[in-house]
């Protein structure tokens, strides 16, 4: 698996752009740097999608590969209507893969994110605003109840190489819980689960980055399959 490309997709300029955006998070600066945004962020992320597409479709040919923002790419504009963080832009970008979801329900994803000072890649699943209608509640929770050893098996398989954390809500606020949600009680209140590898920015500027992502996603795909796919 992998493409064997010789030239890195990303350069240090990608992370420099995010650092400067974090310090100058306003429309005037962004408008002046739209060309840099296209050159340092949009173009390499679209190249990354092109390079990893054969590998991701080899994992599962049902993944959505349309290159649309919202489907494969995160938005750099922050929705500040209901957010505590009122900055206009996110100094990071995601590339993500998921199955088409019936009725636009929240679904599990394989992803990679580049931010100011780190790269993360892995698996994540959120319940969204309507937990009862999410794939997490409809598929993952019943399957874990039927096979409570499954999460423990994944922890043994992956725990040394990946970090895991999950969220529940307390008094309406999301609360992060470190570790693996191995107990059935966790799944009665779980709102999200993330299993990921955190890397230094230099990892993304190496020519082996695409192949490394392909191997990582193949290893984590069983998490998505178990929690998200009917």
Asked whether residue 6 is domain-assigned, the answer is: no
Asked whether residue 1 is domain-assigned, the answer is: no
Give the 3-state secondary structure of residue 198.
strand
Asked whether residue 135 is domain-assigned, the answer is: yes
Structural domain harbouring 196: 12-228
Whole-number Å distance between alpha carbons of 93 and 113: 6
Asked whether residue 41 is domain-assigned, the answer is: yes
Asked whether residue 176 is domain-assigned, the answer is: yes
Burial of 204 (0-12, 13-18, 19+ CB in 10 A): buried
CATH number at residue 173: 3.30.930.20
Please give the pLDDT value at position 102: 73
Q: Are 93 and 14 in contact (CB under 8 A)?
A: no
Please give the pLDDT value at position 133: 86
Handedness of CA 176, 180, 185, 190 (dihedral sign): positive
| Residues β-bridged to residue 114 | 93, 119
Answer whether 0.85 is exceeded by the pTM.
Answer: yes
Please give the pLDDT value at position 6: 61
Determine the Cα angle at 204 with ends 92 and 215, to 5°: 110
Give the total number of structural domains in the chain. 1
> pLDDT tens, position by position, for the chain (230 residues)?
444 446 899 999 999 999 999 999 999 999 999 999 999 999 999 999 999 999 999 999 999 999 999 899 999 998 866 667 779 999 999 999 999 887 777 899 999 999 999 999 999 999 988 888 899 999 999 999 999 999 999 999 999 999 999 999 887 789 999 999 999 899 989 999 999 999 999 999 999 999 999 999 999 999 999 999 98
Asked whether residue 215 is domain-assigned, the answer is: yes
Asked whether residue 40 is domain-assigned, the answer is: yes
Asked whether residue 5 is domain-assigned, the answer is: no
């Amino acid at each position: 698996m992998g493409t064997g490309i010789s030239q890195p997709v990303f350069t240090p300029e990608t992370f420099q752009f995010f650092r400067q955006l974090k310090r100058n998070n306003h429309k005037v600066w962004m408008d002046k740097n739209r060309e840099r945004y296209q050159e340092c962020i949009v173009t390499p992320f679209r190249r990354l999608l092109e390079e990893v597409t054969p590998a991701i479709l080899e994992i599962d040919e049902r993944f959505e590969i349309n290159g649309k923002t919202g489907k494969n790419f995160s938005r750099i504009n922050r929705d500040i209507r209901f957010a505590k963080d009122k900055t206009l832009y996110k100094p990071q970008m995601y590339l993500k893969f998921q199955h088409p979801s019936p009725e636009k329900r929240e679904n599990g994803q394989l992803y990679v994110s580049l931010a100011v000072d780190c790269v993360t890649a892995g698996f994540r699943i959120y319940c969204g605003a309507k937990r009862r209608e999410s794939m997490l509640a409809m598929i993952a929770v019943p399957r874990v109840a039927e096979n409570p050893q499954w999460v423990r098996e994944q922890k043994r398989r992956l725990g040394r190489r990946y970090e895991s954390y999950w969220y529940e809500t307390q008094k309406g606020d999301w609360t992060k819980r470190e570790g693996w949600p191995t107990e059935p009680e966790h799944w009665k209140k779980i709102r999200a689960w993330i299993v990921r590898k955190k890397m230094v920015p230099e990892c993304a500027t190496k020519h082996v980055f695409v192949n490394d992502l392909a191997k990582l996603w193949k290893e984590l795909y069983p998490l998505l399959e178990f929690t998200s796919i009917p």
